[in-house]
Amino acid sequence: MNATRAAALARLAEFTPRAGRDYARLRNHDLGRGHNPHVSGLSPYLRHRLIAETEVLEAVLGRHSAEAAGKFVQEVFWRTYWKGWLELRPAVWADYRAGVSRALDRLQAEDGLRARWSDACAGETRIDGFDDWARELVETGYLHNHARMWFASIWIFTLQLPWQLGADFFLRHLLDGDPASNTLGWRWVAGLQTRGKTYLARPDNIHKYSGGRFRPTGLATGAAPIDGPPHPARSAPPQAPAWSPAVPSGLLLHEDDLSPGHLFQTGLAPVSQIRLQATARRSPLAVAAPVGDFAADALDDAASRWRGRSGGDGGRHDGTAPVVDWARANGLEQVVTSYAPTGPTAECLDALETALESAGIRLVQVPQQYDLRAWPHATHGFFRFKERIPELIAAMGLKPAGRV
């Protein structure tokens, strides 16, 4: 998969005609790698914002009515909802990170657990379907959403493995590995997200929606919710910062948002541009090379597309020290970047902000209007958030097509 905006736009154009009733009817069917044209395949591009949610919604609603495209539109907003939910409760991400560390410590002390984990990651459990999905994930960097749910359920309730290690396995291998969607999706399967509600993978369901490819035996017949702390209190959503593009500024691109056009619309004229890559920080373990390569290529593609308006090229780096050196060398008073939602990139930017402050340089994170409108509504479950979708679409100035 090419990590370019051109590839994202081509995929969007190819999928848009099928984003209406065809998607609603077929979206839950996983027919195997290379055989799922009824799903969009846009998630790796959206995860890095090589293409923005607003662009996807504009294309789809320009072709289909709101009714016909309702299921696909909801899927786009599910990603937005997860990001907003975690942004209002960043302690859940910190708790997940701590849970991964505890689970990795257990692997060192518990031989049986380590063997089950190793077999699951290698696709050597002898569970029909599960092993195929494990290998598909490692080899392609992708899994159909329904397969992700089946996989997570078997991991937690049949193999009795810590959910955090499963979420970590996904985050290390998924090209679209998103801190919010991934963490909260695994929590939902485990019964932590919607308290007491779990997802149980059933052989008949797998057989039906895998096109008859799999019917595993020996799966757990019950799914007792995992015990965990209650949801933390909500924090305030991010706000647009007060800043001026008139002072000597540099542009920082990061892998969580490679649609920086909104920054240039403010009048930003960077002296120079630099790229910060935080992919390796997604896990304490080694992140799969294709995941890092995709993010690196996406960063370089964005830099190339905006080079004519972003000054000199400061290169791509995976640490904060080179960014500080670059800012000093270019005489910058501020470094401007798109806001990074809760996750590894945000952690990296927090460290960068402290380092830049020591050098008398300000870090300015500017949220997208799309996020500023949507995230404050991620206060409860998705179905309450869903009620806001029509007004969020209207705020973008989108007018769905007629009945298609």
pLDDT block averages, 10 residues each, the chain of length 404: 97 97 96 93 98 98 96 98 98 98 98 98 98 98 98 98 98 98 98 95 98 97 94 96 97 98 97 98 98 98 97 96 98 98 98 98 98 98 96 92 61
pLDDT score at 123: 98
pLDDT attached to residue 103: 98
Task: Identify the pLDDT of residue 351.
Answer: 98
The full set of domains in the chain, from first to last, is: 5-87+374-395 (1.25.40), 91-209 (1.10.579.10), 249-366 (3.40.50.620)
CA atoms of 57 and 54, how far apart (whole Å): 5
pLDDT, position 58: 97
User: If you compute the radius of gyration of the chain from its CA atoms, what whole number of angstroms results?
Assistant: 21
Q: What is the pLDDT of residue 402?
A: 64
Per-residue model confidence (pLDDT) at position 403? 54
pLDDT of residue 367: 98
What is the reported pLDDT for 63? 96
- pLDDT on residue 399: 82
What local confidence, expressed as pLDDT, does residue 119 receive? Answer: 98
